[in-house]
Amino acid sequence: MPAELIDGAAIAREIRDEVARETAALVARGVRPGLAVILVGDDPASAVYVQSKGKACEEAGMHSVTIRLPASTTEPELLAHVDALNADPAIHGILVQMPLPKQIDPDVVIRRIRPDKDVDGFHPVNVGKVLIGDRDGFVPCTPAGVQELLLRSGVETKGAECVIVGRSNIVGKPMMALMVQSGRAANATVTVCHSATRDLAAHTARADILIVAAGRPRMITGAMVKPGATVIDVGINRVEDASTKSGYRLVGDVDFESARQVAARITPVPKGVGPMTIAMLLSNTLRAARQALAS
């Protein structure tokens, strides 16, 4: 029997509805959560993503600010905008859209954002808090979304063998930190695989929970999946497809058709992990506003 689909779009909608209700309650107390997004340059994909974030904020009843800067913007100029947002009490979350032009060091920019406004969860302070299980830090949105998918889909994680393919700072490493902690949708035994891993299939085939974020289309096949496993496909890749109007289609890092014949649960691409990222960004922004109110 083919695997049950984990509907990320539906779960993300649930979370966004919850955030909207809780935002309305916070607004009634005199505080409207505010998110500022800075976009440098004219990358089309980044522009679409930033527009989606702004729309999502408005739907949730949040204050949304988008700052668009030319590709020629210098690092000091960008940092000046970050400083202004850091000092603005109406802004609770700051996000600088990546990638940045080559003249700007992204690490310098990330470190300039106040940790209590770093709703992307990339500041070293928040990275450290996630690693040690400190609950007042901000978790990067995609790993946080994956954990919510597991939780809301009823996947048992306690004692489970969890294999993560990919060791990026954005997904793989924070995902490892989350899954190994003591807590909800966690308490797993975690293995992290990467480009230097020997016999990748030997690791993936013993995973009760397989999370793939390697950036390589269809690299995990059904033969590499344990029967009855839960497969979370974080990847999103464009591959050529002459049968489509655009000439391409989106696929994940997992070969969906073969893997779904083996797994018990699986996320599709698109409409799997992707919608969760913005939902968790809104959730982080709401929490940032609450923390600011309490301070």
pLDDT of residue 103: 97
Q: Is 51 a catalytic residue?
A: no
* Per-residue pLDDT reduced to its tens digit, 58-114: 999 999 999 999 999 999 999 999 999 999 999 999 999 999 999 999 999 999 999
Average pLDDT over residues 5-23: 98
Q: Is 107 a catalytic residue?
A: no
The correct answer on CATH 3.30.230.70 for the domain covering 141-274 is no
The answer to whether the 31-120 and 141-274 domains have the same CATH topology is: yes
pLDDT at 182 over 90: yes
Band of pLDDT at residue 135, cut at 50, 70 and 90: confident
From the list 53, 117, 173, 226, the catalytic residue is 53
| Other beta carbons less than 10 A from residue 110's beta carbon | 18
Q: What are phi and psi of 189, to 5 degrees?
A: -95, 120
pLDDT at 242 over 90: no
Domain extent listing, the chain? 31-120, 141-274
Distances (CA, A) of 95 to 34, 47, 81, 107, 233: 11, 13, 11, 13, 24
Tokens 């939780």 identify what position? 151
Q: Say how far apart CA 112 and CA 23 lie, in whole Å.
A: 27
Distances (CA, A) of 49 to 3, 13, 56: 30, 17, 11
pLDDT of residue 294: 87
Tokens 């990358």 identify what position? 43
Tokens 């997992």 identify what position? 254
Q: Say how far apart CA 56 and CA 5 lie, in whole Å.
A: 24
Q: Is 120 a catalytic residue?
A: yes
What is the third-level CATH fold of 31-120? Answer: Rossmann fold (3.40.50)
pLDDT of residue 38: 97
pLDDT of residue 275: 96
* Per-residue pLDDT reduced to its tens digit, 273-290: 999 999 999 999 999 999
From the list 7, 118, 120, 253, the catalytic residue is 120
The whole-chain average pLDDT of the chain stands at: 96
pLDDT at 243 over 90: no
From the list 97, 117, 147, 173, the catalytic residue is 97
pLDDT of residue 45: 83
DSSP letters, 120-187, are T--SHHHHHHHHHT-TTSPPPHHHHHHHHHHHHTT---TT-EEEEE---TTTHHHHHHHHHSSSTT--
